[in-house]
Structure 1
């Protein structure tokens, strides 16, 4: 224990010294702010990865990382004087260091003592993130706006190359996989992490990439040749559906990239049954949305909608399944999908009702499409959608998926309606006086009217999908054993 404390303490001091000394040295030589930040950060990733092999007590490692996360958060929040190579006074960027420490902490808590997986995650983040930023700054020409930031496809390609090289070295010489297995795992790691880096909020990639890579290499220890082939097929499938969704105009570019990432990960970690129900019902719902509507009115779904309606009910459970191997996670996924589909079908089919729906808040007639309103046709569509998802899930997960889908779909749709009627934000248009659910109307910002301002449509859908996932877990727990 004392040895670990000494190594951990010395490692923290060394990393701090590298950040400050190297950053200042680069600044004195005329390097730009990006270089003075990324080069020291890459070196710290190397030192942190090496430190993982010098420590034997997970509690010490977790304690040091937890303390570092708290200390860095305080430093950023108090806005301490910027130090070249460390902080630049921009919270969205400075929180990258907080995310780095917190992501390493999550990896340690989840996978210790798998030092190879943890070190690989730290090193992929340290080297590939820095390389992508520098390459994108120097050669980036094709920009992608996603996750609240702007990144370049050239930088993402650099991320793929560096992440592949690092992962391959760990797979080949750390896990001692054969060449085919090492290439398969490394490609999966490189492409999925590059997609995460491209799509998430600034600094959030530092939180997510280390535990994600650690999970993949941890799972790769027991990977078979058939599994490796499925990982490659999953990558091909995820990449292929991106242009398809763009061509169909179902998703914008960030949404399509996010959809491709979710599909590839679901197939890779769980198998085809994990994505087929979501893909089938997403396609049907998109066709319903476009039916008898002018093209300009349908619009394309965004990344946030994909994250809520596919990432939450598919990606989260399949990661749980990869980590535990427990079939209950499939019921959780079917429950979340059923909740989303039941509510969507209620809205899309309900618009063909002969009468305006009733608001459950005021029990008065409101325009079709108003959140928190119900109609007999829409209620019937809720049951139909829930039952359809459950029946389809039963093809892969057994007959128990029928009550899972039915209960989760109905309960999730009820949660959506209740929150939509009571807490969802509504805004008043200063131009036309209409009450709307958007921040913009008639080309101008709207004013908050009722509800919680942050409770937008995506937040309401997330609550409904979470409710469906919980119901799916409960039904499986009651009848699955």
Structure 2
């Protein structure tokens, strides 16, 4: 081994042991002083983030760093799974909480694998998570009066505001003194970091935020030095836009609260990392589809979409490609996005417009006529709407990505809708309502649980949509490649 590798092994291995020792000692000290369980857990975890960030600047071999983090992640997971004796400040015996430390190490590992040797970005991600998460929890416990229930469980408004403030302060420090950005750019980036990470913390399940926030912040800080003044202004506008559409979506009753927050996060990320052309097609066609969904429905509430639907139909075709674009600046990622959006819109329009057909659709599985809205069924009007939706998305995408997006949208949209129909006809789960005898796709009907009828239970509507959208994204990639 070279001297550098030996040095890094000594620093990384020794640092890990020191961090573990400090966590245990500080946890026990706080416990003996009468601190509550939350303080006993969060203060040591915040120290863990600071120590890990400092260690990043003492290391030079990315393979060693990744290896140590991978070993630490596996070791922590083993300890949690074996249910070893709770240790104050490290483990308290609650699996969901204990896995937070596992996810902490896993998130740092993802950041190292993606961004090494950008130590400033990696350290910034670790410190934002360590300090903001701990501060939000402590402020929420002490001052929290207004509960916010989103996708990740119950949080408090006061705690979330504390998260935003701490994340902003930490990011600003790294931007000014680590990345040496000017004041305007540093503030713009820090506002974007603070608002998006706070939203992630609100939406995801406990422990998942520890896995996601570090690489997300590292990505933003990694690309920040390449921004121009105009880019920084767009990041600031993206943060404002993402916040503004949340109350709009709630007011229109198109999304529930978690769905609206998720939509705001996706919109902000798309505009910030890619530009307005990345969100305008999705926003326009989502709005049109929501109007179609509400049209001639008995109640508008029935058209409200949830966070899982937003994640599948916007997160997959918008957020995933724009992150790829941020890494590579390859225009193929825009074609991937248009393909995914076209697949989702084509299928949605087939369902929403197809319900106005004078005849019931034909099931691909039974070859018989079924009720309108049944998955895996087709009608002439619905098929025409599929092509129309795909063509519309392609034409709109051509305004930002060039004429090739027309063909990308049409082929990817039709292909994705076909995948949706085939899966819906073959393996999507169906349930029998005991009250009315109807075959439905929901686990509840007529106010009572339904019984499984046929299909794979794990293949629900969101899973079907995910397969369709990913298929559209893949076809969009292939069509764009053939047109080059």
TM-score if structure 1 supplies the norm length? Answer: 0.98
Please tell me whether residue 130 in structure 1 is matched to residue 100 in structure 2.
no
Task: Output the CA distance in 2 between the equivalents of 1:478 and 1:342.
Answer: 22
Q: Is the 8 A contact 2:290 2:303 kept in 1?
A: no
Task: Output the CA distance in 2 between the equivalents of 1:449 and 1:297.
Answer: 28
CA offsets 1:303-360 (integer angstroms, 9 cap, x no match): 1111111111101111111111111000000000000000000000000011111111
Where do 1:40-51 residues align within 5 Å? Answer: 40-51=44-55
How many residue pairs get aligned? The number is: 480
Q: Is the 8 A contact 1:147 1:202 kept in 2?
A: no
Task: Output the CA distance in 1 between the equivalents of 2:144 and 2:303.
Answer: 29
Task: Output the CA distance in 2 between the equivalents of 1:324 and 1:225.
Answer: 21
Q: Is the 8 A contact 2:294 2:300 kept in 1?
A: no
Q: Which residue is 1:383 aligned to?
A: 387
CA offsets 1:257-285 (integer angstroms, 9 cap, x no match): 11111111111111100000000000000
Equivalent position SS for 2:403: coil
Cα 1:296–1:177, aligned 2, differ >3 Å: closer, same or farther?
A: closer
TM-score if structure 2 supplies the norm length? Answer: 0.97
Equivalent position SS for 2:457: coil
Show structure 1 runs of 5+ residues with no match. none
Q: Which residue is 1:431 aligned to?
A: 435
Please tell me whether residue 263 in structure 1 is matched to residue 289 in structure 2.
no
Q: Which residue is 2:61 aligned to?
A: 57
Task: Output the CA distance in 2 between the equivalents of 1:411 and 1:152.
Answer: 43
Q: Which residue is 1:300 aligned to?
A: 304
Task: Output the CA distance in 2 between the equivalents of 1:213 and 1:64.
Answer: 21
Task: Output the CA distance in 1 between the equivalents of 2:424 and 2:93.
Answer: 39
Q: Which residue is 2:74 aligned to?
A: 70
Q: Is the 8 A contact 2:152 2:201 kept in 1?
A: no
Q: Is the 8 A contact 2:415 2:472 kept in 1?
A: yes
Task: Output the CA distance in 1 between the equivalents of 2:109 and 2:27.
Answer: 25
Q: Which residue is 1:473 aligned to?
A: 477
Q: Is the 8 A contact 1:393 1:401 kept in 2?
A: yes
Task: Output the CA distance in 2 between the equivalents of 1:375 and 1:77.
Answer: 51
Q: Which residue is 2:410 aligned to?
A: 406
Where do 1:5-84 residues align within 5 Å? Answer: 5-84=9-88
Q: Is the 8 A contact 1:342 1:381 kept in 2?
A: yes
Task: Output the CA distance in 1 between the equivalents of 2:148 and 2:449.
Answer: 25
Deviation, 1:456, is 1.0
Q: Which residue is 2:8 aligned to?
A: 4
Task: Output the CA distance in 2 between the equivalents of 1:275 and 1:307.
Answer: 14
Task: Output the CA distance in 2 between the equivalents of 1:33 and 1:439.
Answer: 38
Show structure 2 runs of 5+ residues with no match. none
2:347 pairs with 339, 343, 349, which one?
343
Q: Which residue is 2:277 aligned to?
A: 273
Q: Which residue is 2:227 aligned to?
A: 223
Task: Output the CA distance in 2 between the equivalents of 1:148 and 1:126.
Answer: 18
CA offsets 1:419-467 (integer angstroms, 9 cap, x no match): 1111111122233332211121222222222112121111111111000
1:175 pairs with 163, 170, 179, which one?
179
Task: Output the CA distance in 1 between the equivalents of 2:159 and 2:301.
Answer: 35
Equivalent position SS for 2:297: coil
| Mean CA deviation greater in 27-36 or 99-108 | 27-36
Q: Which residue is 1:186 aligned to?
A: 190
Task: Output the CA distance in 1 between the equivalents of 2:95 and 2:8.
Answer: 32
